[in-house]
Amino acid sequence: MASPLNLNGHSRGFTLIEVLVALLVLSVGLLGLASLQTSGLRLSDSSYLRSQAVLAGYDLIDRIRLDRQDAPDYDTSGNFVDESGDVSVQQFKDWVSTQLSRLPSGAASVDCDGTSAVCTVRIRWNDSRAGGEDEQTFTIETRV
């Protein structure tokens, strides 16, 4: 004789609904993790570009300090100079070709006041990958 069906017993395994819900939760978690990774990479790149601009700015200030008598010759009158720009001082030419090539669409301007010996260096680059403003600027002002 066949045994009667026991409805009160514990069932083994998972139901299809439980498996689908677990997969849904897992997939949402993995999508969130992928989004977090993408955002982290983008912001890491932005931070790297800013640090390159800071290093380039201080490098140019050091070059101007080493060549104090020619500091007014570094002046670009507020105009931004990129790698194709024409500048008169060889130190500045070398700096433009080596440092600005590290920044996407990198450009720099130098304003040196001959009477007060104050120089302002502005470095501009394209930071569109970060998701904020496309153009970023770093400014440093110092007495030479």
User: Where is pLDDT greater, at 123 or 87?
Assistant: 123
| Residue 128: predicted pLDDT | 85
C-beta separation of 133 from 94 below 8 A: no
Q: Alpha carbon of 67 to those of 4, 45, 60, 86, 144: distances in Å? A: 101, 33, 11, 19, 9
pLDDT at residue 56 is higher than 90: yes
| Residue 114: predicted pLDDT | 74
C-beta separation of 57 from 95 below 8 A: no
pLDDT at residue 11 is higher than 80: no
CA-CA distance, 73 to 28, in Å (whole number)? 59
C-beta separation of 76 from 41 below 8 A: no
Query: What is the average pLDDT score of the chain?
Result: 85
CA-CA distance, 59 to 41, in Å (whole number)? 27
At residue 69 the predicted structure's pLDDT band, cuts being 50, 70 and 90, is: confident
pLDDT at residue 1 is higher than 60: no
CA-CA distance, 55 to 51, in Å (whole number)? 6
| Residue 5: predicted pLDDT | 59
What does the pLDDT average to over 80-106? 80
What does the pLDDT average to over 98-110? 89
pTM of the model: 0.72
The Cβ-side half-sphere exposure at 126, using a 13 Å CA radius, reads 6
C-beta separation of 56 from 125 below 8 A: no
Amino acid 73 reads: D
| Residue 82: predicted pLDDT | 72
For the chain, the domains span 16-143
